[in-house]
Amino acid sequence: MRKWRFFGPDADITPVARMILNEDVDALDASLGRDWQLNGRTRFSEYTTELPINLALVEQKSRVIDYLLSKGVDLNIEGAASITFAVKNCDLPTIEKIISAGARVDAINNVGGNAISCALYQDRLDLLPFLQSKGLRLDADNGISFKQAVFAGQQAAVEYFLSQGFDPNLRAADMVDPANQSAVEMAAMKNDLPMVKLLVEHGADVTLTDVNGSRPYLWALHHGNGEMEVYLRALEPADWHKPEKKIELLRSYGAPETLIEFVQRDNRRIDLSDCDCDCEYLDIRDLRAIYEFKWSGSSFLNLMAGVDDMCGCGELVWSKKRKRLALVDQEHDEITWLDSWEAFLGDPGAALAKQWA
């Protein structure tokens, strides 16, 4: 049964793909330079194009791998590094073989993942010390692989990183995490208290914010995880949790007293069931969860606690400069200006509809 993820059981594959799958080295050799190129991307089906060496690695076709290596195949083509395919699919001797043949252990794939990231993706934790022994540093990607393990709840992998002296506060933004969360914030976002505690025990700083100003404590509130909330609160400055300080922050932004009163209510859900915005409700943050939201070089107060899954309205924020509400759509890098807090409460559906006007 084929392992190549782009081949379904009924896929119409090309002759070259069939030669590789059947390990027909003689036919491959006879058609080299005519039907396929040693270091060129080759069409294997209607929707699949890849390097021959990488298909052979994915399918674990050892005779084809040996043949291509004997021809001097380039194992380090940009965006298609063979090491990233090998650690996902091959046994240790094969991985050793391609490294000996010149595969760079620090090469990355088309989405920026290195061999450690790819090994973690397949839950091959046994490869971490091996890759280290070949010269690949655990911090080679500035913490991206580490956060990947945290996000996936791979505690054994996280413990291994930490046992090697890895800095749990090391981080770099990538296409998966453009907000550049710390590892401990990511663990809190996943509502994984044991992981949060493990990271803190090894020096994770729970006061670090991501690029938008969020931090682990706010995720504890979001999940309603009282145990995590108490744990994280004890690690933060006491002033951050004084109600009078939060009220002072709201007033410094020019928030009306009606808004300040609203965020101190027990019930802060705004019913949208009669609106034309495909949403049933919108929840406003309570006083504890209000925070300064950073976006596009400006600061706002983030008021959005939750919203009906059908709604893609973005973040509801309060602007200090304009003294009014806005919806920030981070995905499309857009802002929609709304009216006053009182006008919003009077007709929230009409306010949200402005985003699609």
For residue 278, the model assigns a pLDDT of 65
> How confident is residue 7, by pLDDT bands cut at 50, 70 and 90?
confident
Q: How many percent of the chain have pLDDT more than 70? A: 93
Q: How many CB atoms lie within 10 A of CB 202?
A: 19
What's the average model confidence in pLDDT over 285-309? Answer: 89
In terms of DSSP H, where are the helices of the chain? Answer: 15-21, 25-31, 52-59, 62-70, 82-89, 92-100, 115-121, 127-133, 144-151, 155-163, 183-189, 193-201, 216-223, 226-233, 243-252, 257-262, 341-346, 348-353
Among 91-100, 191-200, 262-271, 341-350, name the one with the lowest average pLDDT: 341-350
Q: What pTM did the predictor assign? A: 0.89
Selection from 209, 212, 219, 241 nearest residue 299 by Cα: 212
Among 38-52, 82-96, 169-183, 333-347, name the one with the lowest average pLDDT: 169-183
- For the cut 80, the answer to whether the pLDDT of residue 355 exceeds it is no
Enumerate the domain spans of the chain.
243-356
Number of H helices, E strands in the chain: 18, 10
Radius of gyration in angstroms for the set of CA atoms belonging to the chain, rounded to a whole number: 26
- For the cut 70, the answer to whether the pLDDT of residue 208 exceeds it is yes
- For the cut 70, the answer to whether the pLDDT of residue 310 exceeds it is no
133 or 173, higher pLDDT: 133
For residue 161, the model assigns a pLDDT of 98
47 or 31, higher pLDDT: 31
What's the average model confidence in pLDDT over 233-262? Answer: 97
- For the cut 60, the answer to whether the pLDDT of residue 357 exceeds it is no
For residue 243, the model assigns a pLDDT of 97
For residue 9, the model assigns a pLDDT of 66
> How confident is residue 3, by pLDDT bands cut at 50, 70 and 90?
low
DSSP 26: H
Residue 160 burial class via C-beta count within 10 angstroms: exposed 0-12, middle 13-18, buried 19 and up? middle
> How confident is residue 261, by pLDDT bands cut at 50, 70 and 90?
very high
